[in-house]
Structure 1
């Protein structure tokens, strides 16, 4: 089954309520996976980076402006990385390290955060190099949650998929992306390279 709900409906009261919903998803998911090709996964975003992202969402969709409250909730959601009860396998596209969100200062702080958090026992972070050969066709980012659900964020809508055959294909796709990604020291090296880029005068 696939459900599609327009963002302007889901965000009709602002960003805080949906962040509460996402917190519940993550708290209920003991082992989750995420593929994010063009930006930083929300659960690893710095406060400054998240502020820029949610500001853009509010301005683009014309929904109620509660960016500060939404950012606070996004920061609260990140506690799942530190409570010892959850584990996440995350693949970021190398492009995510270079997509300009808020300018060099914000991006430097974000790269420094990634370099710290890559060592967390709750996190397996991979970086998919731009030139990596992957055995699946290019695809948008998605999250997989316990309980049988894949989630996509499109321009106008959020999409949830619960059909088991479709979920199996998502798991297969994530495995292929993970095999092509760099992990450990190789992933840290790619992040460090991006940090140097954003630190140039």
Structure 2
């Protein structure tokens, strides 16, 4: 089963309410997975980076402006990384390290945050190199919650997939991406290169 909900409906009262919903998803999920090819996974975003993202969302969709409240909730959601009760497997596309969100200072701070958090016991962070050859065709990013739901964020709506056969394909796709992603010191090196890039760009 696939359900689609338009963003302007979900954000009709602003960004804070949906952030509360996402907090509940993450609190209820013991093992989550996320593939994010072009930006930083929300649960690893700095306050500055998240502020830019949510500002763009509010302006693009013309929804009520409560960016500060939405960002505060996004920061609250990150507590799941530190409570010892959850684990997240996350693959970022190398492009995510270079997609310019807020300029060099914001990006450098975000890269430094990734370098600090890569060692968290709750996190397995992979970086998919731009030149990596994978066994799957390119597709949008998605998140999975305890294997029971896959979530997509599209231009005009969000989509949730719960069909078991479709979820099995998502697991297969994530495993394929993971097999070619860089982890540990190799991932750290790619992030460090991005820190250097944004430091020079400042």
TM-score by length of 2: 0.99
1:23-46 CA distance string (max 9 Å, x none): 000000000000000000000000
Partner-residue secondary structure (3-state), 1:138: coil
Q: For residues 53 and 182 of structure 2, what CA distance do their matches in structure 1 show?
A: 26
Give 4+ residue runs of structure 1 displaced > 3 Å after superposition: none
Query: What corresponds to 1:60 in structure 2?
Result: 60
Q: For residues 137 and 117 of structure 2, what CA distance do their matches in structure 1 show?
A: 29
Query: What corresponds to 1:22 in structure 2?
Result: 22
The correspondence of residues 102-121 of structure 1 with structure 2, limited to 5 A, is 102-121=102-121
Partner-residue secondary structure (3-state), 1:194: helix
Query: What corresponds to 2:4 in structure 1?
Result: 4
Q: For residues 57 and 76 of structure 2, what CA distance do their matches in structure 1 show?
A: 19
Consecutive unaligned residues of structure 2, counting only runs of 5 or more, are none
The question of whether the paired residues in 1 share the 8 Å contact of 2:127 and 2:181 is answered with: yes
Query: What corresponds to 1:92 in structure 2?
Result: 92
How far 1:130 moved relative to its partner? 0.1
CA RMSD of aligned residues (A): 0.6
The correspondence of residues 149-168 of structure 1 with structure 2, limited to 5 A, is 149-168=149-168
Partner-residue secondary structure (3-state), 2:165: helix
1:117-170 CA distance string (max 9 Å, x none): 000000000000000010000000000002610000000000000000000000
The question of whether the paired residues in 1 share the 8 Å contact of 2:6 and 2:156 is answered with: yes
The question of whether the paired residues in 1 share the 8 Å contact of 2:54 and 2:67 is answered with: yes
Query: What corresponds to 2:199 in structure 1?
Result: 199
Partner-residue secondary structure (3-state), 2:113: helix
Partner-residue secondary structure (3-state), 1:49: helix
Consecutive unaligned residues of structure 1, counting only runs of 5 or more, are none
Q: How many residues align?
A: 201
Check 1:51–1:64 CA distance in 2 against 1; reply closer, same or farther (3 A cut): same
The question of whether the paired residues in 1 share the 8 Å contact of 2:147 and 2:167 is answered with: no
TM-score by length of 1: 0.99
